[in-house]
Chain A
Amino acid sequence: MSKARIATVWLDGCSGCHMSLLDMDEKLVEIADQIDLVYSPLVDAREFPEGVDVTLVEGAVSSVDDVEKVRLIRQRTRILVAFGDCAVTSNVPAMRNEFKLEDVLHRGYEENASHAPKIPTVGVPRLLATVRPVHEYVAVDVFLPGCPPPADAIGYLFSELLQGRVPDLAGRSRFGA
């Protein structure tokens, strides 16, 4: 049997969902020989590859780079999972939506700086005025809420997907928890 081609991506979030994935501990070792991790913060792949079976997207969409990335991922992925609350609802990152972007940037780079205060603009992606969940930009196939989703729910997600089923995650995870 050929291995499932899995990718994991991290947009505007805290990496907690990826850490919860690692919290599968020895179960991760068990599935290691059934999957090929073709793109992830944990591996050295250089470009998001074609023909990915499943991509877990952690984090909300908050910069022009995120938009580009999530669209490319959608094109090249069969099953796209909104992985955790930030991807599903935009969660904590969207707290900045209550404020004007210029005020948010002003606090960080002008008010709270003692040398050469200015807003960074060179070689860094432009931030969007509001942070939005993944499904507002691309179609999402599976939603896995949680902050972060529990390792058991992630384990169930993988075992169902690896057996060719789209998982029903009802009752296995909830928002905020």
Chain B
Amino acid sequence: MRELVVVEPISRIEGHGKITITLDEAGRVADARLHVTQYRGFEKFCEGRPYYEMPSLVERICGICPVSHSLASAKACDRILGVQAPEVALKLRRLLNCGEFIQSHALSFFHLSAPDLLLGMDSDPAKRNILGLLEAHPAIARDGIRLRQMGQQIIEWFAGKRIHPAWVVPGGVNEPLRQDHQQMMLTMVPEALEIIQRTLNLFKQSIEKYREEIRTFANFPTHFLGLVNEDGTLDHVQGKLRMIDARGNIVVDQMDPADYQDLIGEAVEEHSYLKSPYYKPLGYPDGIYRVGPAARLNVCSGCGTPLADQEWAEFRSLDRGPVLSSFFNHYARLIEVLYCIETLDQLLCDPDILSTRTRAFAQPNYREGVGVVEAPRGTLFHHYRVDDYGLITWANMIVATGNNNLAMNRGVLQVARRYIDGNKLTDGAINRIQAVIRAFDPCLSCSTHLLGDGGAPWIRLLGPNGEVLDEV
């Protein structure tokens, strides 16, 4: 172990991170580590707060997927109350979630990754961003801005505010859907469908160009985890846990999320504020598994909506078993947007959807509750304990990105081995190392705890005695 290469901060990701790459004496890549460099402490400082504050409080974990945190939190609180939210409230929560997936996936694809995919991994770094995309491919960039806007607008129509809304509550949601908002959303559906289908075609045409990235972007066997419906189809909000192995065999199915601690353990590495969850029966680190868009499409037996099901079948034909390259998260993200638009359309037409009974009321009846949803980046766990007055005494959260920590680390190693040659870091290598991370779309602000850097990587190459050999 001789030399270190550090990439910091990682740019165009939602969070603070840096990467260290260790070379052996022959100058070959020996190891790679992703450091997440911030910890915020929600699991501790929520102590003493009343349970009903939690959905709003935990939204502040993440400005990109606050809705996911409020949903997981409200579900944990449903259990503490011991109530079943009214049928329409469950549908409204699901609808709100569609808005979030649309905006979050649009952000990941268009604003953060499309500059790599459309301008090129080796293109001018000064232009390799959403503004550069706007110059070079204005129509595509505008599609992305519009799609994200539609997702945010949907959230605002349901919940009154685009970021950190206070609409999802323990027991349901606090206001019914307004008819004018329902109509405005339905009017939006055809345009949203056009954008996503156009983007899917564009992506599929460009796949050939990225054969090398597909081969090396975290392309290895792991388990996969996600929520599925009773019939095994994709479910982001209400489902139960299913895990498959690298060949596609189901190893856990229809597991009550409340039992997650039987399934998942959390390991600590001294070099990162992000913990590394692992599949308990295989131990650490063999219990590596992945979550997120591609994992969900690998785990489920279909999407359950007609257009997304066609795309899903095509996606699954990419590999004999589960799709292993994390590069295809980009593809899976677009398919999930399609699924969310179709789900939105269906649920908005539900005859019951304007019903005004949207909330069940109760006092806290149980001391403990677990709430689990699929956030855009993967399975999200919230687990609370309360005292007799409903004040939080303990909390544990496993955020979507955390689940992928082991896989992201191994993915960085795989890319570093392929693209780093000798003691010099080329821009193309640096960018691909970051791009593999971007494929996971890590929300490091979410990672309960972490937060994003300002954006500028510094890269250092250190010699055997720690002397700086090269600096970018």
Contact of A22 among B36, B111, B275 (CB under 8 A): B111
Interface size class of A (residues with CB under 8 A): 35 or more
Chain B residues with CB under 8 A of A99: 41, 44-45, 47
Contact of A115 among B14, B62, B266 (CB under 8 A): B266
Contact between B12 and A43 (Cβ–Cβ < 8 Å)?
yes
Confirm or deny: A153 has a beta carbon within 8 angstroms of a beta carbon on chain B: no
Confirm or deny: A171 has a beta carbon within 8 angstroms of a beta carbon on chain B: no
Confirm or deny: A80 has a beta carbon within 8 angstroms of a beta carbon on chain B: no
Interface residues of B: mostly helix, strand, loop or mixed? loop
Contact between B455 and A107 (Cβ–Cβ < 8 Å)?
no
Contact between A44 and B12 (Cβ–Cβ < 8 Å)?
yes
Chain A residues with CB under 8 A of B129: 37, 42-44
Contact between B273 and A62 (Cβ–Cβ < 8 Å)?
no
Shortest Cβ distance from B457 into chain A, in angstroms?
Answer: 5
The stretch among B83-91, B144-152, B210-218, B306-314 that forms the contact with chain A is: B144-152
Contact between B162 and A108 (Cβ–Cβ < 8 Å)?
no
Shortest Cβ distance from B429 into chain A, in angstroms?
Answer: 14
Confirm or deny: B267 has a beta carbon within 8 angstroms of a beta carbon on chain A: yes
Given A10-B452, A29-B142, A122-B271: A42 and B12 within 8 A (CB)?
Answer: yes
Contact of B41 among A25, A108, A116 (CB under 8 A): A108
| Chain B CB within 10 A, most for which of A105, A107, A113, A151 | A107
Contact between B145 and A120 (Cβ–Cβ < 8 Å)?
no
Given A13-B445, A42-B455: A116 and B267 within 8 A (CB)?
Answer: yes
Chain B residues with CB under 8 A of A45: 11, 126, 455-456
Contact between A114 and B164 (Cβ–Cβ < 8 Å)?
no
Contact between B20 and A123 (Cβ–Cβ < 8 Å)?
yes
Confirm or deny: A157 has a beta carbon within 8 angstroms of a beta carbon on chain B: no
Confirm or deny: A96 has a beta carbon within 8 angstroms of a beta carbon on chain B: yes
Contact of B37 among A65, A95, A114, A147 (CB under 8 A): A65
Q: How far is the CA of A16 from the CA of B149 in the complex (A)?
A: 15
Given A16-B164, A41-B453: A109 and B63 within 8 A (CB)?
Answer: no
Q: Tell me the B residues contacting A by CB distance below 8 Å.
A: 11-16, 18, 20, 33, 35-41, 43-48, 57, 59-64, 66, 107, 111-112, 125-126, 128-131, 134, 142, 145-146, 148-149, 152, 162-164, 265-273, 275, 278, 280, 283-284, 396, 431, 445, 448-449, 451-459, 472
Q: Tell me the A residues contacting B by CB distance below 8 Å.
A: 7-20, 22-23, 25-26, 28-29, 32, 37, 39-48, 59, 62-63, 65, 69, 73, 91-93, 95-96, 98-99, 103-109, 112-118, 120-125, 127, 147-148, 151
Task: List 19 extra interface pairs beyond A44-B431, A113-B268, CB under 8 A.
Answer: A9-B455, A10-B451, A10-B453, A13-B451, A15-B63, A15-B451, A19-B64, A23-B149, A25-B146, A41-B11, A41-B13, A42-B112, A46-B458, A91-B60, A99-B41, A112-B43, A120-B268, A122-B270, A123-B20
Q: Which 4 pairs show the lowest CB-CB distances between chains A and B?
A: A16-B63, A115-B267, A114-B265, A104-B41
10 examples of A-B residue contacts, CB within 8 angstroms: A15-B14, A15-B62, A23-B162, A40-B454, A41-B11, A47-B456, A113-B267, A114-B280, A115-B267, A116-B284
